[in-house]
A and B are shown apart, each in its own frame.
Chain A
């Protein structure tokens, strides 16, 4: 493995190709990023009642997050402390306990060991059950979005989101809040996890080209982008925050990928909702509420606000991911509108989606070209808009004109490099500077 300052150079603009391919770099990512960062697990709306749980992964660690009797959340590793077998084989559901199928050890929905078969006859009551609880995962939620971390030293989830939280509130603070429609679609992509994360955090550039066929048939506000002929930097912004998160926004385009009657119904909802949103978050963020976003919460949680697809890219080795896809809706939307948005999300960014299939091919091939030894010795380039970022008195992080930009992508790789250097949470950057 090369030194980190050779893997990422020029403020994030240059990436060494080995970071998409090499096993040792991947294992270092598991240690320095996935075992430390706050990772998205699920949403309050998916596990509302006591005993409701979801099984997911943090990196490649299998974890359970469960709603407790007092309404709080607990997380733990899905691996029996006796011989290591999984204790839950369902993806989710409602349970009173998790019983290992190997020797029958039973764990409560809080992860505590509650029953050991033959405890008296074989262990002679000489077993410290308290010390044999399932491995703890730290859980916090932000406006109903539930995250976990293995790092007890990590800052609070709110501090981890940092400047991004201010932007997220543009839609997360709507009256009633947000919810996710599931269960998630799940599929496998043979690509490195960073390929989709960087695509969602700030690749507005590919939209008009890669998705040209879908834009042509869907029409709407983005159709003029087809073939990358017509674009103005005044049509949106790109934002990067020091914490490594970022997004691009296209103004007044939230409903752009909802052609036909669903788009009309969604636009009507946005128009009627906007005054209330303005009262809560102010005029600037009302504009964000009405925009279409492509975003990533570092490292691997991405979403498109407006299209309302919500995804996690679960790493499965350096060259494979498992994609989880939910639909993001406002809780107070009428059921009919929620279902229309859900169907549109399936049609565009679902496993059978007409835009998803374009992206999947590109992600896989961007990873697999690096199989070649000579190819892998080279670097790739993210220099768009470099040096043109600016700070803003109201908006956190660095702001760039134009949603076709690579500023937020550079920000993601800057954070990646800092974490890979093993910097402590105190040593990580709290501010971002304009690239030179």
Chain B
């Protein structure tokens, strides 16, 4: 395990051991998703109070900060544990034509940087990602972005408590983003 709680200061970069654990968690999470082990991901790696979001904003001039109309942010994902569970359950129906033949997805998680949060046993983790998808015979897409995660340690295991995903594309240059990031 990482440093004991007495030494933890909010905002401070995590110690060597904790950083290693976080890195391992993110790597294993990515592999579980790549290998379509969605139930295992949900049950073992995701906290039941998870918030899973992907906001998108208008491309605006730097100086123009005015929120016009109803909002300036739309969420492409704004899921809790139950909704993530619905998405996972859909893979089990055997009726998901768009994923049959299977879609091949490869996740590359980089630039991992973790700081202690002001909540005990939680860390704030910044990371960048590349997600490559290949469908059918020659249909493919690559998406780039960043994630801001909150990971929580309980009973010796890390779990994902919050994820805010940012895609660099405003117009998604693909037919959907039907995959976990």
Contacts and interface: CB of A to CB of B under 8 A. Distances in A.
Contacts of B70: 45-46, 179-182
Interface of B: 54, 56-61, 64, 66, 68-79, 82-83, 86-87, 89-90, 93-98, 170-178
A345 B176 CA distance: 14
Interface stretch (A23-31, A213-221, A232-240, A396-404): A213-221
Contacts, number: 145
Contact of B58 (A183, A216, A260): A183
Given A188-B175, A346-B77, A351-B172, A212 B83 contact: no
A185 B95 CA distance: 26
A60 interface: no
Contact of A360 (B68, B72, B175): B175
A90 B59 CA distance: 6
Interface of A: 43, 45-49, 52, 89-95, 179-190, 210, 212-214, 216-218, 226-227, 259-260, 322, 342-343, 346-347, 350-354, 356-358, 360-361, 364
Contacts of B60: 90-93
A322 B173 CA distance: 9
Nearest to A350: B76
A49 B75 CA distance: 24
B175 A357 contact: yes
A358 B175 contact: no
A251 to B, nearest CB: 26
B54 to A, nearest CB: 7
B83 A186 contact: no
A212 B171 contact: no
Given A186-B170, A347-B79, A358-B98, A353 B176 contact: yes
Contact of A322 (B75, B95, B171): B171
A209 to B, nearest CB: 9
Contacts of A179: 70
Contact of A351 (B59, B64, B93, B177): B177
Highest count of chain B CB atoms <10 Å: which of A179, A212, A217, A322: A217
Contacts of B93: 212-213, 216-217
A352 B72 CA distance: 19
A70 B173 CA distance: 38
A92 B77 contact: no
A78 B96 CA distance: 42
B78 A90 contact: no
Nearest to A184: B74
Nearest to A67: B68
Contacts of A180: 69-70
Nearest to B177: A352
Contacts of A92: 58, 60, 68
B136 to A, nearest CB: 9
Nearest to B176: A357
B64 A95 contact: yes
A181 B74 contact: yes
A190 B176 CA distance: 11
A361 B175 contact: yes
A49 B89 CA distance: 44
Contact of B86 (A45, A218, A227, A352): A218
Given A52-B68, A346-B76, 12 more contacts: A43-B69, A45-B70, A90-B61, A94-B68, A180-B69, A181-B70, A182-B71, A212-B95, A213-B95, A322-B171, A352-B177, A354-B87
A48 B59 contact: no
B83 A217 contact: no
Given A181-B70, A361-B98, A93 B64 contact: yes
Nearest to A93: B64
A271 to B, nearest CB: 25
Contacts of A259: 86
A48 B69 contact: yes
B174 A213 contact: no
B36 to A, nearest CB: 15
B175 A189 contact: yes
Contacts of A357: 98, 175-176, 178
Question: Which of A350, A360, A364 lies at the interface centre, i.e. has the most chain B CB atoms within 10 A of its CB?
Answer: A350
Residue among B60, B78, B87, B176 facing the most chain A CB atoms (10 A cut-off)? B176
Interface pairs A-B: 9 shortest CB-CB:
A360-B175, A213-B95, A187-B172, A212-B95, A357-B178, A46-B69, A93-B64, A186-B171, A213-B93
A57 to B, nearest CB: 12
A197 B138 CA distance: 26
Contacts of A352: 54, 76-77, 176-178
